[in-house]
Structure 1
């Protein structure tokens, strides 16, 4: 593994060599438009020229706030060509969430979906962003686009200005930061996991190897409904598939199941990535069950626990088993994966090559076989640390390189890992992390709310749902508070239920006891 890793100096070499090797082959399809690897590389060259002409230099951060459109990989590859650091940003973020991420990362440039510009306009003056490119889903279908605002250039303007523009090729080294992947924390403040060129190349090579003979170079048609700003889809589609010369079919809105089915129907797709809720939804959609699955040989699940019900339904409908894996933003992301075709449902499989997984007790000592302990990970995919947060980094990374995940697991007799609990209070809603402190901070900023505690409760549709418990200063109803939350939080973070109590359970020192609320919920 390490010998193969050191064939590349950085991600620019990793990606550009593939684009040249597989030039005429289909690379990405979205909203009815397919681009070849050569076309993607040419557009990335033009965009890199534009960025350099606007003063961006190696190490500068560039935020991307786009759904799954073809522009996404083009921007990423342009950033890699220059040695810029990519800041993946959720398109569903509210202005408040955008402001934190842009300022924390120190982003100098932003590529944003045109429809999202009104949210940006609210906070742009409070950021360090100097360059904004606004693009629409149809920009790669049309030859021109209308300007959006005086602070922006359009996609086509940027490409025109960058065409033929000189720029120095990236000299980034393997240990340099390539991506800031934002994730929540126990403090509730989203922080950037520093993923290096080495982290991402290594995890691409490790994960591809774990796919085994169900994944082939140059012949895969890979359905990618998961958002590219999430590290799971980013590594799969933008890195692994491109490096392998494979075709990624990007789905901008997987919640629209009818449009989803229509988008993938023309393809004899061979591989598919999803999460539990998506598998359940698709298997209950008649039009999906009528598709041709004769070529499907690899289905991957991550981000949330895969249920036996979902796994069984998928096999019944498609004839293909689901390989569940486990990973985190801090591990680029994959740590373990079930061997395709030999899955042990209920586990997350075996560690990838060159990946050490241990289970530790509260004193950071390994537990006996069969006992539960905190999952800790060491390997080439483990992040460099948290961006500008040395104290948080020190808590998460040990001196000898183990990352403390905060998840609790058991190693089974066959060495497979089973995730059984979480040490931290994080809630996972449809594969997305929700941190209670962030939701609590928003709730208590409402004038009627005195105190708030937020927990996750099992939910048949989304895996977990956000439940809030509050005490109040004055009368207020659940709908008003949910509307207030929607103004400041992405939809999946908004409490599904808000319970008003006389008082919240507390310890002798006044700390709110979420665990007691979880037991009662």
Structure 2
């Protein structure tokens, strides 16, 4: 196929990358730790571990898993932790021991946790004690045979560790009572592991590194099988893309998104590939604390999603977080709204670099060049060694400017869904294409733009309306804080647009908003109904507005009213 995008590539970015068949994430970690042993690797809550300490601690945890938990190569280990120093230690400990990481949302209900543990067949669970009571409810019905429990402050310095743990448990009462027979404490596991002899596990590119579960916003979550080869390829693709701007051993990255989500996971691994200093934010919903961290950290790179950037821009003193050191701010996980991008550029002096990816692609597929002068409104160009095509339902490749399903082929594409061959067959073609379910277009320069999710398209009198476009237009109004466009039934057309809005300006009326929308949208795209809500719209674990939930809530209200 013709790779139109290569004509728009930055001059120093290669068209392809090469990955050694024997390379793995532990091999990558070992190289970085050996070269940058004294450089800070991760910081959290005022404590820091160096790359040398990350090497030592993850080896200790790996040895503990091998000798005490009797973990065998290929067994699954569920990690149920927020962004704490314990996370990278546990992550690399599992991988070095030959295990498969199953990232698990700490906010899962007992039902959600049980479903994931059963589906993955996890035999070991690493969990924060705040959530151990949830695990206790389901463990007897799973294959988990070994549990390691940690507390928020465990890896902080003395006496802060003890103070934080006391405050969290006894003053804030954030640790409900729990009892799990035979559970080990994380710090005890590290101490015991240091007394054990670690055995190197040979790993190949085809070996599974992660069962990374999809968000489940359109159904029951599925485990994408991501191999070491998938992950290393995506890290090498990303390294080739950023090498002219982000320099090895010189960057400080702020990570306010949860590491159990694939976007933050791979971004952090990419920063680790550059020997960056990664500052982990445990609770990004505490906006005041996050702004304080940004004001006191001279960071050069940051990741986030549109909703997070929007909240930060409304926070007091956010302008004081601009140290003049910021090189790159990467946006992913959901569509960036132009109004948010413009405000961010004004405050920080750098554009939001929007990219695109999926759990199934490890996850990065496309990105804008880091050298762009302003927000482009596109998801950028395919990364090296990545093919992207816009196809119709029959699999025919469509021309420039024609909307269709965005399809991806490359070394970062998953092996398939765990124990779901039928679901794999629905999205993977025989010649290696992944059908993403996203509607996109490509322009003449090879830049791609996501129009919307295929399942979210609203059909008004036969015309397709893409919710992203309606929401983007609404967000250009300064009185709007959040917006979600959803379908609503209509007697004259099967569907019409309903816009659910959280106002920044409480005096804003529906009529005034409609006048604004008339300037940006043609008639059939205009909302027939505008609903104002207080509070916030429902969101996923990384802050993506869940239109499906908004739609269900509106339908329930309509049924009650009837």
- Report the TM-score range of the alignment, normalised by the length of the smaller protein: 0.7 to 0.9
Q: 2:555 and 2:37 mapped to 1: Cα distance?
A: 57
Question: What does the per-residue CA deviation read over 1:202-235, in whole Å, with 9 as the maximum and x for residues that have no partner?
Answer: 1011112222422111100001101101111101
Is 1:203–2:234 an aligned residue pair? yes
Aligned-pair CA distance for 1:369: 1.8
Is 1:243–2:273 an aligned residue pair? yes
Is 1:499–2:499 an aligned residue pair? no
Alpha carbons of structure 1 residues 178 and 466: separation in structure 2 relative to 1, 3 Å: farther
Q: 1:194 is matched with which residue? A: 225
Q: 2:527 is matched with which residue? A: none
Alpha carbons of structure 1 residues 325 and 56: separation in structure 2 relative to 1, 3 Å: same
Report matched runs for 1:270-419 at 5 Å: 270-342=300-372, 345-419=376-450
Q: 1:225 and 1:338 mapped to 2: Cα distance?
A: 21
> How many residues end up aligned between the 2 structures?
458
Q: 1:10 is matched with which residue? A: 24
SS in 2 for 1:19: helix
Aligned-pair CA distance for 1:283: 1.4
Q: 2:42 and 2:357 mapped to 1: Cα distance?
A: 25
Does the 8 Å contact 1:277/1:463 carry over to 2?
A: no
Question: What does the per-residue CA deviation read over 1:365-390, in whole Å, with 9 as the maximum and x for residues that have no partner?
Answer: 11122111100000010000000111
Q: 1:410 and 1:259 mapped to 2: Cα distance?
A: 39
Does the 8 Å contact 2:43/2:49 carry over to 1?
A: yes
Q: 1:419 and 1:140 mapped to 2: Cα distance?
A: 41
Is 1:226–2:257 an aligned residue pair? yes
Q: 1:109 is matched with which residue? A: 124
TM-score, length basis structure 1: 0.82
Is 1:56–2:86 an aligned residue pair? no
TM-score, length basis structure 2: 0.76
Q: 1:169 is matched with which residue? A: 200
Does the 8 Å contact 2:328/2:370 carry over to 1?
A: yes
Q: 2:43 is matched with which residue? A: 29
Is 1:159–2:190 an aligned residue pair? yes
Q: 2:218 and 2:380 mapped to 1: Cα distance?
A: 30
Q: 1:207 and 1:148 mapped to 2: Cα distance?
A: 43
SS in 2 for 1:380: coil
Alpha carbons of structure 1 residues 503 and 267: separation in structure 2 relative to 1, 3 Å: closer
Q: 1:502 and 1:285 mapped to 2: Cα distance?
A: 35
Gaps of 5+ in 2: 1-13, 166-177, 459-466, 490-537
Gaps of 5+ in 1: 428-454, 470-485, 505-521
Aligned-pair CA distance for 1:86: 0.3
Q: 2:203 and 2:363 mapped to 1: Cα distance?
A: 21
Alpha carbons of structure 1 residues 157 and 3: separation in structure 2 relative to 1, 3 Å: same
Alpha carbons of structure 1 residues 158 and 282: separation in structure 2 relative to 1, 3 Å: same
Is 1:423–2:454 an aligned residue pair? yes
Q: 1:406 and 1:263 mapped to 2: Cα distance?
A: 37
Aligned-pair CA distance for 1:150: 2.9
Q: 2:80 and 2:558 mapped to 1: Cα distance?
A: 42
Q: 2:482 and 2:234 mapped to 1: Cα distance?
A: 28
Q: 2:100 is matched with which residue? A: 85
Q: 1:292 and 1:422 mapped to 2: Cα distance?
A: 34
Does the 8 Å contact 1:222/1:247 carry over to 2?
A: yes
Aligned-pair CA distance for 1:263: 2.2
Q: 2:514 is matched with which residue? A: none
Q: 1:31 and 1:465 mapped to 2: Cα distance?
A: 38
Q: 1:406 and 1:315 mapped to 2: Cα distance?
A: 31
